[in-house]
Structure 1
């Protein structure tokens, strides 16, 4: 026989009624009874305590089973919350203390998504569907190409340095004990698009690193002002004291790096390595990983070397001169003559390489003071692209006693890990080629992040800008989660050009 049900419909609950959950009959409580009220309170308290106990146990168990990266992230979020309560004056004092080695900075960076219309994590995994979707978004007519911040805007933004640092995320850096003891000096070469140079600097920024900004003397006034405004906001960033008029393949390109080297030697005695960069490059290693790799190098330089047909002998065997063909041409161009040149000084053998490299402090100091190095530099003035010969020739002529030169084999066989570039006809490129060098796009990222190089070249803000932005997001989150796929130092310890004579 079915039980009869009793239903109650009313506007306000009658607290004097309670239904048996196993049946359908309701009974009336004596609400005036003190014992009954105490019983309800005790039952409620017991339930609350039970729920709290279960939650605590579940949090503890889940924490014990979480990957290290998640634990780091919680720690970072807590520290960032605490740092947010600092006043601008306190923050500036902390930065000064860090610069003067009086304080060890807290870890402030947190992993987060920075690009929202494209799934960067999927792109970096090589997800073809997401890569195609990202390209479609960037190909639309309404898509904004180029930088997000104009050069003039940088002039305005840097008038309030505290706000600029906060908005551009400069205070959310991570500095380990290893990084604190191993500062790296950089030069960044730019002539336009200050934003790209500033984003490169931000990716490498810690209060211990140093940055020399070389602005082409021929750049627009707003570029010079914007770069100076950025430099004025940081004690460890400055604009080079002597700027050069940059001529493609000319001597001034080499002189620009030397000018920054001279300034860096005078300004700071602590940095261990110097790396020269154009603004179109970007790191694929975190600052901590760069430091770990450079410590493994142990004072050795990483400079490219090419011999044989790759040396392009005509570039230094014939004299090149500068000419202005058109009357309204401001900058000259370099032209080859039929005048053969004398052999280089000090009986050196010419070696070609890249304009960019990784240079130990001892190498920089020796190069600036050595009589032989200065004579070779002067000989390079009418060479085509002397920056592609000077560093390599100093490095691979063992008779010079070059500091940081620890490789005696054929230069072409030495791995060169300073920067990866994809050349037309040699390397795959999912972006586009400009002067036979790949400008990377979204489809290149999954392969690039697997490289063992420190930097990759190159990116354009007006071509598939989400590629650079996704690489920024990836690098930012690797810094925030140092336990995530740490760099394998075994490979670098087995390189034949590192210095194994002493322990760093």
Structure 2
């Protein structure tokens, strides 16, 4: 009898404990449910860490009434890419890449791009996002000496796109060295085998940003002046530049390109070629790319250029003066406005000064440089830095995206928008709209 009473007591204790736990669980679930279903005051979806648009940006944002305030939508690009749980299925949406050709005109004239990069992941993503279109194709060359974390992050980014790939061979790039030219050629070789029927190839560095939309690029590159021509701005080698190809130079790891000995003279250029001097940046036809990769004259000039100083500043422009080269521009000069650059020694001549700062005699742009950039008819601008006056690129990027979407002939998807606007006023207070 005593044992039976003891058993009953234990049963009651267990039952009470169970009922208490059950009651607590129901209470917790109820609180969560009510919290989740209770209407809350709508908020503008802007992360707290977002850098606000500078007041100077207003001139470059869409015109609205004075009550409207614009907000950037994404502020953690680098963290998004380096996240170990990165979902490629969401990347294009979350980082606002354009996912369809914006016009038939662009779809019918696909472009190829070569990007040579070594640092600043966020700048690369923003550049790629600005020039990206699904009908184009993109080769990215990552400097072999770039930090492993950077190389891994770029590889993750590239792996999320069908039409973006890494160069099959990576060079350890030295400033003004042959390796810089070789980096472009490595990508060019890969692009020559691409299934995309690209019409012209354009090369960029990671600190560039476009001033023309993809549609404007297409129209410019197939305009009457450039439809069948390569764009390699340059002139016959001036006397003060001739030492670059008159003497032999060599690359030394971690150091600038240096003269061999006290100045060892080179043999004359092969095939009696006249050496030109010009921009390292270009827009080339596919036929010219095949000529570069296959012709004996181009291969011999390449071999001769191995021990010259900054060969990418003579190689392309010299070959573009060869009459039999497809798309050649024999007798051409500096025409072809590829880059907007503020050179320090051009201050007071072609521009009124850098509003940011000069690095290696090139302006790193500030916001007050934007009017000058926007008035230019250049394809791209150089240079920008992520940690120096970053609001400059915020403004330019928004201006560029608005220009792209305003000329689209397809419905605009909300994920393509780079900024939102909060509208203040009766009946619309704190309501969010997209731009």
Distance 1:267 1:309 in 2: 38
Question: Counterpart in 2 of 1:371?
Answer: 296
Question: Counterpart in 2 of 1:402?
Answer: 325
Distance 2:239 2:94 in 1: 46
* CA positional deviation for 1:351: 0.5
Distance 1:169 1:268 in 2: 26
Length-normalised TM-score, structure 2: 0.74
Question: Counterpart in 1 of 2:247?
Answer: 318
Matched, 1:384 2:320: no
Asked if the contact 2:77–2:95 (Cα under 8 Å) also holds between the matched residues in 1, the reply is no
Q: How do residues 39-438 of structure 1 correspond to structure 2 at under 5 angstroms?
A: 116-119=52-55, 121-124=57-60, 148-150=76-78, 153-156=80-83, 159-171=86-98, 174-296=101-223, 297-307=226-236, 309=238, 312-323=241-252, 331-337=254-260, 338-398=263-323, 401-409=324-332, 411=333, 414-426=334-346, 427=351, 428-438=353-363
Asked if the contact 1:281–1:455 (Cα under 8 Å) also holds between the matched residues in 2, the reply is yes
Asked if the contact 2:101–2:135 (Cα under 8 Å) also holds between the matched residues in 1, the reply is no
User: How far does the alpha carbon of each residue in 1:419-478 deviate from its partner, in whole angstroms, 9 at most, with x for none?
Assistant: 121111213322211111111110110111111111011111111111111000000101
Asked if the contact 1:123–1:443 (Cα under 8 Å) also holds between the matched residues in 2, the reply is no
Distance 2:84 2:108 in 1: 32
* CA positional deviation for 1:408: 2.4
Count how many residue pairs are aligned between Structure 1 and Structure 2: 338
* CA positional deviation for 1:116: 3.9
1:479 to 391, 396, 404: 404
Cα RMSD (Å): 2.2
Length-normalised TM-score, structure 1: 0.64
Matched residue of 2:193: which SS? Answer: helix
**Cα pair distance change 1:420/1:271, threshold 3 Å:** same
Matched residue of 2:140: which SS? Answer: strand
User: How far does the alpha carbon of each residue in 1:82-117 deviate from its partner, in whole angstroms, 9 at most, with x for none?
Assistant: xxxxxxxxxxxxxxxxxxxxxxxxxxxxxxxx9743
Which has the larger Rg?
1
**Cα pair distance change 1:365/1:440, threshold 3 Å:** same
**Cα pair distance change 1:148/1:354, threshold 3 Å:** farther
Q: How do residues 481-496 of structure 1 correspond to structure 2 at under 5 angstroms?
A: 481-482=406-407
Asked if the contact 1:158–1:230 (Cα under 8 Å) also holds between the matched residues in 2, the reply is no
Matched residue of 1:261: which SS? Answer: helix
Matched residue of 2:304: which SS? Answer: helix
Gaps of 5+ in 1: 1-113, 126-146, 324-329, 484-504
Asked if the contact 1:283–1:455 (Cα under 8 Å) also holds between the matched residues in 2, the reply is yes
Asked if the contact 2:279–2:313 (Cα under 8 Å) also holds between the matched residues in 1, the reply is yes
Distance 1:460 1:298 in 2: 33
Matched, 1:450 2:375: yes
* CA positional deviation for 1:148: 4.4
Distance 1:386 1:309 in 2: 15
* CA positional deviation for 1:308: 5.2
Distance 1:154 1:262 in 2: 28
User: How far does the alpha carbon of each residue in 1:43-100 deviate from its partner, in whole angstroms, 9 at most, with x for none?
Assistant: xxxxxxxxxxxxxxxxxxxxxxxxxxxxxxxxxxxxxxxxxxxxxxxxxxxxxxxxxx
Quick check: which one's helix share is greater? 1
Distance 1:232 1:285 in 2: 27
Distance 1:310 1:450 in 2: 33
* CA positional deviation for 1:307: 3.0
Gaps of 5+ in 2: 1-49, 62-74, 409-435
**Cα pair distance change 1:308/1:316, threshold 3 Å:** closer
* CA positional deviation for 1:226: 0.9
* Higher relative contact order (CA closer than 8 Å, sequence separation 6+): 2
* CA positional deviation for 1:397: 3.8
Question: Counterpart in 1 of 2:68?
Answer: none
**Cα pair distance change 1:311/1:457, threshold 3 Å:** farther
Matched residue of 2:234: which SS? Answer: coil
User: How far does the alpha carbon of each residue in 1:234-256 deviate from its partner, in whole angstroms, 9 at most, with x for none?
Assistant: 10000111000111111110000
Asked if the contact 1:124–1:446 (Cα under 8 Å) also holds between the matched residues in 2, the reply is no
Asked if the contact 2:137–2:196 (Cα under 8 Å) also holds between the matched residues in 1, the reply is no
